Chains A and B, each alone.
Chain A
Amino acid sequence: MIPADDYEPPRPETDDAAEWRGLSRSAVFRRGLAVALTVPGLILAASSAGFGALSRDAGFSLFNSVFMMAAFFALPAQVVMVDQMARGASLSAGALVVTLTGIRLLPMCVVLMPYLKGPRATRLGFLLAGHFIAVTAWMEGWRRLPHLPAEHRLDHFLGIGTGLLGSTLIGTAFGYELAGVVPPLVSAVLLFLTPVYFLLSLIAAAAALSDRYAIVAGVVLGPPIYLLVPGFDLLLTGLIGGTIAHFAARHREARP
């Protein structure tokens, strides 16, 4: 628990915060659930359908496919898990690649946590919120939470996560059952939605100069690093690109 007067929001509240005042906790949670019905929620459901189809191809049961979605709630980890099992890799090799994909969640949790702290924060709430942190929920939290009064942020984010989790489970089951029925061009469009949404959300959420530099650095460095060290590419792109962006922005801002 964090005392309310110790808490400083990372960004000042905006005018939008006024409309949230006086809402009940369940109303705030329900507004979070509704994010599942917006464009990002639908894109995530479509991506989950892609995962369901992949998981079926690899020989998993419907239950285990849906269970994997709930237990990991991070598509990259699930895709490498399925891929490893399909190739008959050893359990330890599977665990290693899964943990490599999971490292990227660490900085995402670090930067969202300050928004989740507030007068109503509990340890259980944090753990639940942490489980929901994968790119889509993180992005929606990153975009939406600064506009909310501090006391509503955790409740709202738990709503966002619950709604998105629900839509991924339904999406996975749909994809599992419909695998092979959908034409390839439709599947290609569904796979294309995710990166476009990710990039536009990053641009939309970029508040500081370092954010804009970091986007450019990730875009430029990502492909060559992937070709050089696949598997470690996301982590290295983040560390190298983020460090360059951080110092470049500080250097730039230090000048008059």
Chain B
Amino acid sequence: MSEMSTGLTATLILLAIALFVHEPWRWIGIFIGNRIDVQSPWFQWVRSVATALVAGLVMRLILFPAGALAGLGLGVRGLAMAAGIAAYFLLGRTLAVGVGTGALVLVVAQSLFG
């Protein structure tokens, strides 16, 4: 596959994979979501599944990161995450404040202990 990484062949392969094996999950979700009764237990269950799935993704990105974030210690990442959550709850439940505090603590903690 690597020799096809550039050029039109690669473009067509990417398009085919996107359209035939990736996008259909969205179509199926739309089809089901269009017919499902939002008051039904099924809908409430799917909603819990989607929420737990994204929460699992968050933990994977923090505990088992890829790229440059993996170069920072687990303690630094965990501390910054905890600080972001604490700032969100203590300082008026603002998204930007929580995310900004987390990023700031990450930089400071890495500079001090990294």
How distant is the Cα of A190 from the Cα of B10 in the complex, in angstroms?
28
A219's partner among B18, B38, B59, B67 (CB-CB below 8 A) is B59
Closest to B80 in A: A192
The answer to whether A198 touches B29 (Cβ under 8 A) is no
Question: Chain A contacts of B65 at CB under 8 A?
Answer: 191
The answer to whether B52 touches A81 (Cβ under 8 A) is no
Closest to A50 in B: B67
Q: Say yes or no: is A88 at the interface (Cβ < 8 Å to chain B).
A: yes
The answer to whether A113 touches B81 (Cβ under 8 A) is no
Quick one: which of A55-82 are within 8 Å of B by CB?
58-61, 63-64, 67-68, 71-72, 74, 76-77, 79, 81
Chain A interface residue count, CB cutoff 8 Å, equals: 109
Question: Chain B contacts of A84 at CB under 8 A?
Answer: 1
Question: Chain B contacts of A39 at CB under 8 A?
Answer: 95-96, 99
Quick one: which of B13-51 are within 8 Å of A by CB?
13-15, 17-30, 32-34, 36, 38-39, 41, 43-51
The answer to whether A184 touches B49 (Cβ under 8 A) is no
How distant is the Cα of A179 from the Cα of B60 in the complex, in angstroms?
24
The answer to whether A242 touches B22 (Cβ under 8 A) is no
Chain B interface residue count, CB cutoff 8 Å, equals: 77
Closest to A83 in B: B66
Q: Say yes or no: is A110 at the interface (Cβ < 8 Å to chain B).
A: yes
How distant is the Cα of A18 from the Cα of B32 in the complex, in angstroms?
30
Question: Chain A contacts of B52 at CB under 8 A?
Answer: 214-215, 217-218, 221, 237-238, 240-242, 245
Question: Chain A contacts of B50 at CB under 8 A?
Answer: 107-108, 110-111, 238, 242
Q: Say yes or no: is A204 at the interface (Cβ < 8 Å to chain B).
A: yes
How distant is the Cα of A94 from the Cα of B13 in the complex, in angstroms?
11
How distant is the Cα of A2 from the Cα of B33 in the complex, in angstroms?
13
Question: Chain A contacts of B22 at CB under 8 A?
Answer: 72, 74, 77, 98-99, 101-102
Q: Say yes or no: is A27 at the interface (Cβ < 8 Å to chain B).
A: no
How distant is the Cα of A245 from the Cα of B48 in the complex, in angstroms?
7
Q: Say yes or no: is A20 at the interface (Cβ < 8 Å to chain B).
A: no
Stretch among A29-37, A166-174, A222-230 lining the B interface: A222-230
The answer to whether B44 touches A214 (Cβ under 8 A) is no
The answer to whether B54 touches A202 (Cβ under 8 A) is yes
How distant is the Cα of A201 from the Cα of B98 in the complex, in angstroms?
10
Find the residue from A58, A81, A216 having the highest chain B CB count within 10 A: A81
- Interface flags for A184-206 (1: CB within 8 Å of B; 0: not) read 11011111111111111111101
The answer to whether A191 touches B68 (Cβ under 8 A) is yes
Quick one: which of B59-103 are within 8 Å of A by CB?
59-69, 71-72, 77, 80-81, 84-85, 88, 93, 95-96, 98-99, 102-103
A interface residue numbers (CB < 8 A to B): 2, 8, 10, 39-40, 43, 50, 54, 58-61, 63-64, 67-68, 71-72, 74, 76-77, 79, 81, 84-91, 94-96, 98-99, 101-114, 117, 126-127, 129-131, 133, 135, 139, 184-185, 187-204, 206, 208, 210-211, 213-219, 221-223, 225-226, 233-235, 237-243, 245-246, 249-250
If A85-B1, A191-B66, A193-B102 are given as contacts, then 10 extra A-B residue pairs at C-beta distance below 8 Å, sorted by A number, are: A10-B38, A112-B33, A113-B30, A114-B36, A199-B55, A200-B88, A206-B51, A214-B48, A226-B63, A241-B53
B interface residue numbers (CB < 8 A to A): 1-2, 4-7, 10-11, 13-15, 17-30, 32-34, 36, 38-39, 41, 43-69, 71-72, 77, 80-81, 84-85, 88, 93, 95-96, 98-99, 102-103, 106-107, 110
